[in-house]
Amino acid sequence: MVEVYRHDVVIVGGGGAGLRAAIAAVEADPKISVAMVSKVYPMRSHTVSAEGGAAAYVPGSEDSLEKHFYDTVKGSDFLADQDCAEYFVEQATPELTLLEHWGCPWSRNDDGTVATRPFGGMTVPRTWYAADKVGFHMLHSLFQHSMRFDRIVRYDENFVTRILVDDGVCRGVVAIDIRSGVMRMFLGRAVILATGGAGKCFPFTTNGTIKTGDGMALAYRAGVGLKDMEFLQYHPTGLPGTGILITEASRGEGGYVLNSEGERFLVTRDYGVGQKAELGPRDMISRAEILEIEAGRGLQGPYGEYVLLDLRHLGEAKIMAKLPFVRELARTYIGVDPVYEPIPIRPVVHYMMGGVDTDIRGATPIPGLYAAGETACVSMNGANRLGSNSLTECLVFGARAGVEAAAYAKGSADGNEARLRSEAETEGARIDALRGRKKGGEKMSVIRHEMQVSMERGCGVYRKQESMNQTVAELAPLKGRYADLVLEDTSKVFNTEVLQALELGNMLDVAESIAIAAAARRESRGAHACRDYPNRNDAEFLHHSMMFFTPAGPRLDKKAVTITRFQPEERKY
Ligand SMILES: Cc1cc2nc3c(=O)[nH]c(=O)nc-3n(C[C@H](O)[C@H](O)[C@H](O)COP(=O)(O)OP(=O)(O)OC[C@H]3O[C@@H](n4cnc5c(N)ncnc54)[C@H](O)[C@@H]3O)c2cc1C
């Protein structure tokens, strides 16, 4: 049996992008009703864990829209679509101001103006913050504001497994109600995917367990291309062992990165970051850390080699005022008090620049299907995202997708419900067959582990053609073995084993897209650093990669980059 729910717009995801899209949709049209379907309670979305801040030009400051635009495009290694990056910077300030009106307590200077901190790759300080718990405050403000609208109807703990496309048009989604195991069909004239990133394809990540690339895999199977998947951001300051993030704000507030000899190697050696030193962009600092470790200047710990982040010179008062959460995390998870000791750190998988292909409106090529936030690739981040641009991106493009989806929903007709119901029933049968599936002999944990190890080896901070090819070759058989999974739990109620199996299936598709796109990009650009091809090659590779699902296997294609103002130039700081 499939339960049917009808709304005008269906939003998948209750993180920063999903909530902002929902509010924009109901505000754009006083009659519209929105379903917000999320696999976790909205406040548990990964947005909540963001620490450092959100970027926007502060009027009257030394900053300008032009500078933010240029920094973003340069940070992207000239792969960003410049029309999108320009729209982003224009909308950033109104969005962050709006968030304050909804209750977000931005930290202030003594004179009452909005406080900003420097972030990597930015020419001036433009990162708004609320101490170092920014994601919590932003998500909370959005969530509270969304509750003012009865027309945003929440379906928490509903796991979306399929996008319904009929006659080439998106008509809704199919989901499992996690509590009861009942299948649900959410019909809508527009659907927005706001499902976040896919860090869990890797063994070592700052990402929460729920970040399994579901929306990317769903859109891919529905026929939308995945764009720029090879560009994966490693954050240079993760805690060894857990991968827990020590925010870039710790460098923004003046932290030093040291090797085993106590040397500030970003200052003393030439790693391309110039005067910016610790405030260089993430891709470059991650690479410098790996090279220091390879040169024998790392430290050895129980979880491999690492370097150090030193905050001691900031003093206890500043650490408690600006970075209290950093202190709490370091003490709790690695037993180090940064007031007295440097924090062990290493690069860790953090963010997906790539994702579901959309245009500047958040629209995918399938009519009625939109995407926003980390799951989408608009693209404004190109080959490398600048820290603190992502939270703002969720607001700017979440809002845009909400408005566009509401307008589209108003002007379009309902689909053929009988056909859609039959498709949803087929999906229900597929999931029923997974519960307690005894055929085959493959264990989920083994396949997941092999996938993660292979991804780390092939698609790390530095990549080699041979190891990327090897990862591509290893992933295809893993997908074959996935079809032989054995599951134990036959119950319908809170069957988390089935959900994990579905997530693993999604990750395998996403991982394969990352590896194939990476192996085909024979140059180094932004976060894609290939040892065999150390230089950027604009003549052959100044284009977006596009991965398409076909029954015969993934197909790689390309798409032109939109360049409006800034011609590609050498990226150095
Ligand atoms: C530790 C950490 C710190 C960060 N700090 C910063 C920072 O300081 N500044 C910055 O700009 N960026 C930061 N980022 C990046 C930024 O936080 C994220 O890119 C952004 O919050 C993503 O928001 P989102 O709305 O796209 O997705 P998320 O917040 O991840 O939300 C995804 C939503 O989709 C739902 N969902 C997923 N799959 C399904 C499914 N199958 N069915 C139903 N629902 C589903 C989930 O339930 C969830 O509600 C940080 C990231 C991390 C991991």
pLDDT in tens, 523-538: 999 999 999 999 999 9
- Spot the catalytic one: 140, 184, 235, 528: 235
415 lines ligand 1 (CB under 6 A): no
pLDDT for 561: 98
**pLDDT tens figures, 197-220:** 999 999 999 999 999 999 999 999
Amino acid at 466: E
Percentage of residues of the chain with pLDDT beyond 70: 100
Q: How much distance in Å is there from the Cα of 426 to the middle of ligand 1? A: 30
Average pLDDT over residues 101-118: 95
CA 333 to chain centre: 23
Q: Which atom of ligand 1 is nearest to the CA of 160?
A: 42
pLDDT for 131: 87
Q: 236-348: which CATH topology?
A: Flavocytochrome C3; Chain A, domain 1 (3.90.700)
Question: Given ligand 1 and candidates 46, 116, 250, which is best to mutate, with the most ligand atoms within 8 Å of its CB?
Answer: 46
- Crossing angle of helices 324-334 and 315-322, in 10° steps, is 100
Average pLDDT over residues 221-228: 98
pLDDT for 519: 98
For 507, residues 6+ apart whose C-beta sits below 8 A from its C-beta are 198, 200, 201, 212, 213, 217, 448, 451
Phi and psi of 398, rounded to 5°? -65, -45
Average pLDDT over residues 160-171: 97
Q: Which atom of ligand 1 is nearest to the CA of 506?
A: 41
The burial of 535, by beta-carbon neighbours within 10 Å (0-12 exposed, 13-18 middle, 19 or more buried), is given as: exposed
3-class DSSP state for residue 301? strand
pLDDT for 440: 84
Place of tokens 């860090």: 199
Q: Is 543 a catalytic residue?
A: no
Amino acid at 529: A
**pLDDT tens figures, 261-288:** 999 999 999 999 999 999 999 999 999 9
pLDDT for 264: 97
pLDDT for 438: 85
Q: Class for domain 430-542, per CATH?
A: mainly alpha
- Using pLDDT thresholds of 50, 70 and 90, give the confidence band for residue 424: very high
- Residue having the nearest C-alpha atom to atom 18 of ligand 1: 47
**pLDDT tens figures, 230-240:** 999 999 999 99
For 356, residues 6+ apart whose C-beta sits below 8 A from its C-beta are 193, 215, 216, 219, 220, 224, 226, 227, 364, 371, 375, 376, 377
Strand ranges across the sheet with 127-128: 54-55, 127-128, 116-117
Q: Which atom of ligand 1 is nearest to the CA of 374?
A: 26
Q: How much distance in Å is there from the Cα of 351 to the middle of ligand 1? A: 9
Query: How high is the mean pLDDT of the chain?
Result: 96
Q: How much distance in Å is there from the Cα of 117 to the middle of ligand 1? A: 22
- By DSSP bridging, strand 158-166 and strand 152-156 are unpaired
For the chain, which residues make up each domain, given as ranges?
236-348, 430-542
HEC sequence for 26-87: HHHCCCCCEEEEECCCHHHCHHHHCCCCEECCCCCCCCCHHHHHHHHHHHCCCCCCHHHHHH
Average pLDDT over residues 334-358: 97
Q: Is 179 a catalytic residue?
A: no
pLDDT for 1: 86
**pLDDT tens figures, 561-570:** 999 999 999 9
Q: Is pLDDT at 408 greater than 90 in this prediction?
A: yes
pLDDT for 404: 98
Q: Which atom of ligand 1 is nearest to the CA of 205?
A: 53
Residue whose C-alpha is closest to residue 506's, from 155, 157, 161, 15: 161
- Residue having the nearest C-alpha atom to atom 33 of ligand 1: 13
Q: Cis omega before residue 379 (within 30°)?
A: yes
**pLDDT tens figures, 67-83:** 999 999 999 999 999 99
pLDDT for 436: 85
Q: Is pLDDT at 439 greater than 90 in this prediction?
A: no
Contact at 8 Å (CB) between 265 and 292?
A: yes
pLDDT for 3: 98
